[in-house]
Amino acid sequence: MTVTPHLASDSAACCWIPLFALRSELARRPEIASLPVALVAPDTARTPRVWQVAPLARRAGVKPGMTVSQAIGLCPALKLCEPDPVHYDEQFARLVAALVTVSPVVEPVELGRAYVGTDGLEGLYGEPEKIVEAIQMRNVECGMRIFSEGSFASPDSHLHSALRIPHSALRVGWGIGKFVSWVAATRAKPGEAVIVPVGGEAKFLASQPLAVLPLDPDTHRRLLQLGIKTLGALVALPEEAVVSQFGSAGRRLWRLAAGLVTEPVVGRVVPEPIVAALTFFTPVGERDLLAHALDKLVDRALGDPRRSGWRVQVVRVHAELEHGASWLVAATLKDPSATREHIAAPLKTQLERSPPAGAVERLVVEFTAFAPGTAELQLFARDAGAAARAGRRRALQSAAREIALRIRRPMLYHVIEVQPWSRLPERRYALIDYEP
């Protein structure tokens, strides 16, 4: 594992698919596309709330953030779908992978939205219009066409983009800086792009509504009370007057609205994650057993030789549940750590606050980001014992690959003790994938 410097780009293309999770769900379940559909929020197990809402349900009055009982009261025919965050994450990873084939500078922001740095791409593709066309065409080639606007439309509807990519939900905005490109993407029609020419940022932003700014509700309300409804009306005020009313946040808002802030796209090389998985003989719903399994998996991931000399900064846990659902939580450690207690603590907290909605069949822990360890850790990672262990592990990896090739599927597992007090043998032990 090596440290790679970050890449940055001032010119940006914002790629955005609204209601990404819901579109993903409808793409694999087309039989419900004509119904009023809503997704249940994945982190509100105690008071289930609506997360994303299809247009048919929205026209019936259902809005994101409502409790499930309120939503059903407004729309008795509402079709509620349990979330599958692991599936949505995999679909978004496909989008990011497609973008990386166009530019090495890609910055994912949230599910369904990512920025692409376009500095230097002119030599490959030409003008911004050609760069945008390359982004859209590459996503179609990589299978992102499944997120079709047809999922939300009547069978007779027929949408075409300016670039002749039918039924595409991808919206693209191009401009200087992330904010300008994001606002441009929100103005684009499905399957089309809005390009803001260099030097035309202020003119383009002037007519945009206040909602495109990162406003908190109180600031938004105060600005509306002052009669300010567009970015142009905000910029018409003296900058210092806005600062006197809203402080340093007001200065940033004013400068964003004026097109004076150019936030570059920061691309990061994604490290190869360290993964540990556990398959249960029978689905498990007890939180104590799941917490115990988390400890075991964190221990196993910490023992991976690739982690030698590195501390864990970001950890994710996802679970495959009964009936095809899934559960996903992630934690970023304020102080990167190499101890099980510090890494597992935030995961157990989230397990208590928003447990899986069903019994768990498979549990997976991933370390996805790392920070350098101390000099002593780096020194000990290079000793002769570590070199010998690495050699034995390479031999085991070669043997495991050969077995997998011959049998056509992985067949090697560890048997570990997870619930020694149980009277049932299948509860006392569990299979964990063997990855030498």
- Asked if 102 and 189 sit in the same domain, the reply is yes
Residue 71 domain-assigned (yes or no): no
Specify the long-range contacts of residues 255-263, CB closer than 8 Å, at least 24 apart: 256/179, 256/213, 256/214, 257/205, 257/213, 257/231, 257/232, 258/202, 258/205, 259/180, 259/201, 259/202, 259/204, 259/205, 261/177, 261/179, 262/10, 262/176, 262/177, 263/177, 263/178, 263/179
pLDDT at position 141, please? 66
pLDDT at position 144, please? 46
First to last CA, the chain: 17
Domain boundary among 349, 372, 395: 372
- Asked if 278 and 261 sit in the same domain, the reply is no
Return the amino acid letter for 160.
H
pLDDT at position 160, please? 32
pLDDT at position 293, please? 93
- Asked if 213 and 300 sit in the same domain, the reply is no
- Asked if 206 and 255 sit in the same domain, the reply is yes
- Asked if 88 and 120 sit in the same domain, the reply is yes
Residue 24 domain-assigned (yes or no): yes
pLDDT at position 223, please? 92
pLDDT at position 252, please? 93
Residues in contact with 157: Cβ distance below 8 Å, sequence separation at least 6, in sequence order: 149, 150
Buried b (16+ CB within 10 A) or exposed e, 136-174: bebbbeeebbbbbbbbbbeeeeebebebebebbbbbbbb
Q: Rounded CA gap, 331 and 347, in Å? A: 7
pLDDT at position 415, please? 78
φ, ψ at 216 (rounded to 5°): -85, 155
- Asked if 352 and 394 sit in the same domain, the reply is no
Asked if residues 386 and 380 have their Cβ atoms less than 8 Å apart, the reply is yes
Helix axes 20-28, 85-100, angle to 10 degrees: 100
pLDDT at position 161, please? 32
CATH of the domain at 305: 3.30.1490.100
- Asked if 228 and 346 sit in the same domain, the reply is no
pLDDT at position 389, please? 63
Domain boundary among 208, 239, 270: 270
Residue 11 domain-assigned (yes or no): yes
Residue whose tokens read 């965050």: 85
| Cα–Cα nearest to 49, from 82, 27, 19, 10 | 82
Q: Which two tokens stand for residue 38?
A: 């809503």
pTM check: above 0.75: no
Going residue by residue through the chain (436 aa), what tens digit of pLDDT does each one get? Answer: 434 445 688 999 999 999 999 988 888 888 988 899 999 988 765 788 999 999 999 999 999 999 999 999 999 999 999 888 888 888 888 888 889 889 989 999 998 999 999 998 988 899 999 999 999 888 776 654 444 444 454 433 333 333 333 346 889 999 999 999 999 999 999 889 999 999 999 999 999 999 999 999 899 999 999 899 999 999 999 999 999 999 989 999 999 999 998 899 988 666 678 999 999 988 998 989 999 999 999 999 998 888 877 889 899 999 999 888 899 999 989 888 889 999 999 999 999 888 888 899 999 999 988 887 654 444 444 444 555 566 667 767 777 777 777 776 667 777 777 777 777 777 777 777 766 5
Domain boundary among 215, 238, 270: 270
Q: Give residue 274's region: left, alpha or beta (phi > 0; psi -120 to 50).
A: beta
Q: Rounded CA gap, 254 and 284, in Å? A: 53
- Asked if 215 and 285 sit in the same domain, the reply is no
pLDDT at position 292, please? 92
pLDDT at position 13, please? 93
Q: Centre a 10 Å sphere on the Cβ of residue 132 and count the other Cβ atoms it contains.
A: 26
pLDDT at position 1, please? 47
- Asked if 202 and 349 sit in the same domain, the reply is no
- Asked if 301 and 237 sit in the same domain, the reply is no
pLDDT at position 418, please? 73
CATH of the domain at 86: 3.30.70.270
Residue 300 domain-assigned (yes or no): yes
* Domain range for 401: 384-433
Q: Rounded CA gap, 47 and 432, in Å? A: 33
pLDDT at position 422, please? 76
pLDDT at position 306, please? 81
